[in-house]
Amino acid sequence: MNNNPINIRVIPSLFTLANLLFGFLALALTMEGKYQLAAGLILLSTLMDGMDGKVARKLSVSSDFGYELDSLSDLVSFGVAPAILTYRSILQDQLGYWGLVFAAIFALCGAIRLARFNVLHISDYFVGVPITFAGGFMALILLFHGMLPWLIYAVLIPVLAFLMVSTFKVPKM
Amino acid sequence: MNNNPINIRVIPSLFTLANLLFGFLALALTMEGKYQLAAGLILLSTLMDGMDGKVARKLSVSSDFGYELDSLSDLVSFGVAPAILTYRSILQDQLGYWGLVFAAIFALCGAIRLARFNVLHISDYFVGVPITFAGGFMALILLFHGMLPWLIYAVLIPVLAFLMVSTFKVPKM
């Protein structure tokens, strides 16, 4: 396997790095006021995130390195990027710095969720809503920026933050 | 120990969450053009990052959860935040989207560095420059934004990115 010109063990990590890259670019686009494009990039990250695990299992090259890189990327793409995007595009105008508090809580709860997931080693179900779902859902409704009332975003951000750190069992699909 | 009103096991994680919070706020301040304040917050994150491990060892409450949370926070505060700040405050004007490429490479190399560190379990020395150093150093010179030639930032970003993923042994201080 190591004689391949490209080591196939790196392939899943390329999807994970694409996930991180899109999350990073979503932050850069948020700064430029391109909010819907930023939301679209976060949704692309969810696609990449769905691919890396599948590819790793298919190629039988799952690794601890891959798991670590996956968590790190998820925090940026589904914790920090949607929080900053929601704050900048909607909450800042409506709630000022309180909006930033809500956004920060979302990112912090996302980090707690990921760290807990990595040490629990439960594979049958999720404990609390996965960050990919929470961040992906925020990105999805941010695509409709300007079409939905701002209160929906202001309510969903703390609710999803709470659901991430909650101890509800969420079945895997 | 569990009879304490505050479980002392959570104390180190409060420093780690402060590290993440300052990194997150640095991103928000970068969006508002408050570049030096953002750089100052990243430097505060390096202080918090130095505290959490020390406090955990002093209280003898080091945990896998703490290690995971630490890595996650480090990527935001010392990988993503300094990269976005350098791009937005300096490189965007000078290099356009090439500046974004440099910044993205810095963040991605930071993530690779952290994931590798977590699976190597080497405690005597660092392999490659730690992300806390790389991100903290960028933040430090960003405090002098406007006083140093922009080329210094444009050169340091890829150099530090390379040094993070390099396999040089860096002695612990």
Q: What is the pLDDT of residue A3?
A: 52
Determine contact, residues B19/B52, Cβ cutoff 8 Å. yes
- Band (A171; pLDDT cuts 50, 70, 90): confident
Q: How far is B113 from chain A (nearest CA, A)?
A: 9
Q: Which pLDDT belongs to residue B5?
A: 54
Task: Give the nearest chain A residue to B112 (CA atoms).
Answer: A69
Q: Which of B14, B69, B116 to mutate to test the interface with A (most CBs of A within 10 A)?
A: B69
Q: How far is B147 from chain A (nearest CA, A)?
A: 24
- A104-141 as b/e: b if 16+ CB within 10 A: bbbbbbbbbbbbbbbeeeeeeebbbbbbbbbbbbbbeb
Question: CB of B127 within 8 Å of any CB in chain A?
Answer: no
| A:B CB pairs within 8 Å | 110
Q: Do A27 and B84 touch (CB under 8 A)?
A: yes
Cβ–Cβ contact A31 with B under 8 A: yes
How close B41 gets to chain A, by Cα (Å)?
14
Q: Is the pLDDT of residue B113 over 50?
A: yes
- How large is the angle between the packed helices A97-120 and A131-142, nearest 10 degrees? 150
Residue B89: pLDDT band (50, 70, 90) is very high
CB atoms within 10 A of CB B173: 5
Position A118 scores a pLDDT of 82
Q: Is the pLDDT of residue B2 over 60?
A: no
Indicate if the pLDDT at residue A124 is higher than 80: no
- If you average pLDDT over residues B135-159, what whole number do you get? 95
Provide mean pLDDT across the span A147-166: 95
Total-model pTM: 0.93
Domain boundaries, chain A: 8-171
Q: Which pLDDT score, from 0 to 100, does residue A78 have?
A: 98
Q: Which fold has domain A8-171?
A: Four Helix Bundle (Hemerythrin (Met), subunit A) (1.20.120)
- How many Cα neighbours within 13 Å face the side chain of B10? 8
Q: Are A8 and B99 in contact (CB under 8 A)?
A: no
For an interface test with B, which of A17, A64, A65, A72 has the most B Cβ atoms less than 10 Å from its Cβ?
A72
- pLDDT recorded at residue B1: 44
Q: Share the mean pLDDT of chain A.
A: 92
Q: Which residue of A has its CA nearest to B21?
A: A104
The residue with greater pLDDT, B126 or A112, is A112
Q: Summarize the confidence of residues A156-164 as an average pLDDT.
A: 97
Mean pLDDT along residues B68-74: 96
- pLDDT top residue among A168 and A173: A168
Model pLDDT, residue A6? 66
> pLDDT digits over A11-40, tens only?
999 999 999 999 999 999 999 999 999 999
Q: Give the mean model confidence (pLDDT) for residues A49-73.
A: 91
> Looking at the complex, does the CB of residue A101 fall below 8 Å from at least one CB of chain B?
no
Determine, for residues A116 and B84 on separate chains, whether the beta-carbon distance falls below 8 Å: no
| Beta-strand runs (E) in B17-131 | 125-127
Q: Closest by alpha carbon to A165, among A107, A101, A94, A124?
A: A107
Contact status of B69 with chain A (Cβ, < 8 Å) = yes
Q: How far is B84 from chain A (nearest CA, A)?
A: 7
Cβ separation of B119 and A76 shorter than 8 Å?
Answer: no
| pLDDT surpasses 70 at A86 | yes
The answer to whether residue B83 neighbours chain A at the CB level (below 8 Å) is yes
**In chain A, alpha helices (H):** 11-31, 35-58, 64-74, 81-86, 92-95, 97-120, 131-142, 150-165
Q: Is the ipTM of this complex over 0.90?
A: yes
**Which residue type sits at B116?**
R
Answer with the residue of higher pLDDT: A4 or B27: B27
The model's confidence at residue B23, banded by pLDDT at 50, 70 and 90, is very high
